[in-house]
Structure 1
Amino acid sequence: MDKIELIRSNRKSLAIEVTRDLRVIVRAPVKMPEKEINRFIGEKADWIDKSFRKMQERQENQPQGRLLTPQDIKLLTTRAKRVIPPKVDRYAKVLGVDYNRITIRMQKSRWGSCSGQGNLNFNCLLMRAPDDVVDYVIVHELCHRKEMNHSDRFWALVESVLPDYKEKRKWLKDHGSELMQK
């Protein structure tokens, strides 16, 4: 870590970010004194160090050592648009639920979501996961059509369709950050 970039803007609080390209950025309010910013950086030094090392490790473990290109993302999105809707249709019938629109896009932190109106969103990066993990995410989101929460009833519903869902969920927790790497 060579230097810390300071970006001032019309914000109310301080924030620190370690980017994928290994830059450390501090965002600060325009009028905040430099002394206060430096004190904040000092207090967060351990976190900055840890986050920087973690990001460095991710870079080193990056498959093929390269980032996804816009073309890669387009291909993943196209594939997802072909693969996911028939699966959604099949599992919706199994669960006896309906849904509205299916949207596929690149997302930074979510695999899927379900709105109160029944719109389903899926991350194109799911196409980098095993097929049964994709099924789990689809079933998870469709179960929200009956239970818009993560209650015991919700998980029982997921389990009624995928008895081994905990394995898929664990796989996603263990490997999800690798898939999210862009």
Structure 2
Amino acid sequence: MNVKIIRSNRKTLAIQINPDLSVIVRAPMYAPQSDIERILREKEGWIQKHIEKIREQEEKKKETQGESVESEYLTNEEIKKLADKALQHIPKRVSYYAKQIGVTYGRITIRNQKTRWGSCSSKGNLNFNCLLMLTSPEVIDYVVVHELCHRKEMNHSGAFWAEVEKVLPDYKEQVKWLKENGAQIIGRMK
């Protein structure tokens, strides 16, 4: 298993499995190596399950698409167009939903990322993936609401998901869609 450890000023440890099947462990700066290795051993079944799921999705994609245009890499020009489009669209949705949720936010940044659809910093700055523009308006709204709800709950607890559900009662449909199709879209990044 190819594991990369990234240490930062975070408080908790997170395990991330990438579309290329590499594993990233994000750990607090001073977490002992032995703790990281123990958690990796404990989570080995979970990691393997997710790696297997990604492999299955890749197989399914090859079977259903063959070499279709959908799986071609995006050019830098296409990525720039998606980012420009996202800059026009996403801030409006953030403004709309922030009022509804009753939260404030800082800077909005559009990026081209290979691992995330969006993120929210502790200061309230929001990042969104330009590839969201290849999804439906419902998926974009879900990611916007997801990140804004982190302004109330900086975690993925039951309370956090309850906040998301208040705004988007059918959010699980978008989560399911991203799980089934997200890797394929992100896979179009070089």
TM-score (norm 1): 0.68
The aligned counterpart of 1:28 is: none
CA contact (8 A) 2:71 2:187 kept: no
Structure 1: runs of 5 or more not aligned: 1-16, 20-46
The answer as to 2:107 corresponding to 1:126 is: no
Distance across 2 between alignment mates of 1:163 and 1:156: 9
Q: Which protein is bigger by CA-based radius of gyration?
A: 1
The aligned counterpart of 1:174 is: 180
Compared with structure 1, are the counterparts of its residues 61 and 173 closer, same or farther at alpha carbon in structure 2 (3 Å cutoff)? farther
The aligned counterpart of 2:159 is: 153
The aligned counterpart of 1:91 is: 97
The aligned counterpart of 2:84 is: 78
The percentage of aligned residue pairs carrying the same residue is 54
Structure 2: runs of 5 or more not aligned: 1-17, 21-50
Cα deviation, residue 78, structure 1 = 0.3
The answer as to 2:89 corresponding to 1:57 is: no
- For 2:87, the aligned partner's letter is K
- For 2:62, the aligned partner's letter is E
RMSD across aligned C-alpha pairs, in angstroms? 2.6
Aligned length: 136
CA contact (8 A) 1:111 1:123 kept: yes
Distance across 2 between alignment mates of 1:139 and 1:171: 16
Distance across 1 between alignment mates of 2:107 and 2:168: 23
Compared with structure 1, are the counterparts of its residues 160 and 61 closer, same or farther at alpha carbon in structure 2 (3 Å cutoff)? farther
Cα deviation, residue 54, structure 1 = 4.0
Deviations 1:75-108 (A, max 9, x none): 0000000000000000000000000000001000
Distance across 1 between alignment mates of 2:136 and 2:142: 10
Cα deviation, residue 62, structure 1 = 4.5
The aligned counterpart of 2:31 is: none
- For 2:115, the aligned partner's letter is S
Which structure's relative contact order is higher, taking Cα pairs within 8 Å and 6+ residues apart? 2
CA contact (8 A) 2:103 2:152 kept: yes
The aligned counterpart of 2:150 is: 144
Choose the corresponding residue for 1:165, options 165, 171, 180. 171
Distance across 1 between alignment mates of 2:68 and 2:131: 15
The secondary structure found in structure 2 opposite 1:104 is strand
